[in-house]
Chains A and B, each alone.
Chain A
Amino acid sequence: MIRVVLPAHLRALARINGEVELAVAAPVTQRSILDALERRYPMLRGTIRDHDGGPRRAFIRFFACELDLSHEQPDALLPAAVGTGAEPYLIVGAMAGG
């Protein structure tokens, strides 16, 4: 299972406690994870990327395995440890705002 960690305000919106576990078929990519996440939690559509599966919102970042994967292409393969569930895929609100 893929493990996904959401920022607190999106966990509140989707009424999620803790991590989300998703079954995602290979190849595991940013797009395949977000597709699965939005299928289970439709209220998250438009809050991480645009409604058509396009670019991430400017103040959202994607981290995993201590790497910033925010600028990777949506269909790029993610690290194997994300695919096995050894490491979570972190969806992060950028440090900004007040």
Chain B
Amino acid sequence: MSGVRVLVGTRKGAFILTSDGRRERWEVSGPHFAGWEIYHVKGSPADPDRLFASQSSSWSGQVIQRSDDGGVTWEPVGNRFSYDGAPGTHQWYDGTPHPWEFARVWHLEPSLNDPDTVYAGVEDAGLFRSTDGGRQWAELSGLRCHDSGPSWQPGAGGMCLHTLLLDPAEPGRMFAAISAAGAFRSDDAGQTWRPVNRGLQSEGIPDPDAEVGHCVHRLAMHQARPNVLYMQKHWDVMRSDDAGESWHEVSGDLPTDFGFPIDVHAHEPDTVYVVPITSDAEHFPPEGKLRVYRSRTGGDEWEPLTRGLPQEHCYVNVLRDAMAVDSLDSCGVYFGTTGGQVYVSADAGDNWAPIVRDLPAVLSVEVQTL
């Protein structure tokens, strides 16, 4: 393990930040795909030089880019995302049926062991898979065609499938999260799905403990203990100890339990990170102080991490895909803000420093440990 490569998607292009294992001096490459929205860039665990990027714009739609040399050069691959069969309808904001329409790819999740296989979570919520390095995409329609699909409604940001977790211990098990439908689990490699939302309480929906309809913002898993899941919901930080069968709240002493990202320390499955945000109406940190909160107890007990982060006049947000951890011996934690800063902590959150301060609004942050 000699260094890290941080993959940053922004509103106006992608940036690649590289450093050695000390994570003090950084080289910045970009903007790649300048002017385009880059919702997500992620590398293949099976071949770290293979990267996938979701590139889109209101003018020209969706493009998927692939690099086979760690982001030095890129090639557009397949961008045809066609829902399987007659797509049907989901609910629109006003409760009327609305046809499923592809808008963009929010999240790309490369296979854990095959560099040619990659999954795409899209808006309107659906899951696609490519087995040829991104050239062709086919929908895994068992998710969208779940019986509850016609009742799903978009969140404020659109009806997006934004999180996909692949279970490293149970081949074929995966978890998806959709705003605002909830969390879903497949045990057969994405062919069939069922909601896994028992224990969630959402006051903003007519039936607070309904099977679907919850605005799940993000799921996180530790690779060594995949039955334990963490969730940042619209409000509430949640935990499951049984692979999503049931959830309980672990917001504990957080100053607010609204937020978007959640992640787990690379070596400590009970060490969890969130970024509390004031409320759904005020998407900025409480009191203008940018604080990451860390729990070393799997939730409930949280400590603010502030050293190196702005503690006054800070009104940025941290979006759901904009936090990541590396797997160096001293776990690095990274996050990006809507103000264009990308912060790193090379000591698991104790101390922070900006890598860059003035990028376009950051949509996503991933890190590769090289």
Give residues in A with beta carbon < 8 Å to B: 7-10, 12-13, 43, 45-48, 51, 57, 59-60, 93-94, 96-97
Evaluate contact between A46 and B62: CB separation under 8 angstroms: yes
What is the number of contacts between chain A and chain B, taking CB atoms within 8 Å?
45
A93 to chain B, nearest CB (A): 4
B239 to chain A, nearest CB (A): 39
Evaluate contact between B36 and A59: CB separation under 8 angstroms: no
B100 to chain A, nearest CB (A): 15
* CB contact under 8 A between A47 and B60, given known A9-B35, A13-B76: yes
Evaluate contact between A48 and B60: CB separation under 8 angstroms: yes
Asked if B91 CB lies within 8 Å of chain A CBs, one says no
Evaluate contact between A57 and B61: CB separation under 8 angstroms: yes
B63-92 interface code vs A (CB 8 A; 1 in, 0 out): 100000000000010011010000000000
Asked if B34 CB lies within 8 Å of chain A CBs, one says yes
Q: Can you list 22 A-B contacts (CB < 8 A)? A: A7-B59, A8-B35, A10-B60, A12-B33, A45-B79, A45-B80, A46-B79, A46-B80, A47-B60, A47-B61, A47-B63, A47-B79, A48-B60, A51-B82, A57-B59, A59-B58, A60-B60, A93-B60, A94-B59, A96-B59, A97-B57, A97-B59
- Closest residue of chain B to A50 (Cβ to Cβ) is B61
Contacts of B80 in A (CB 8 A): 45-46, 51
Q: Is the interface of B mostly helix, strand, loop or mixed?
A: loop
B217 to chain A, nearest CB (A): 25
Contacts of A60 in B (CB 8 A): 59-60
CA distance A51 to B83 in the complex (A): 13
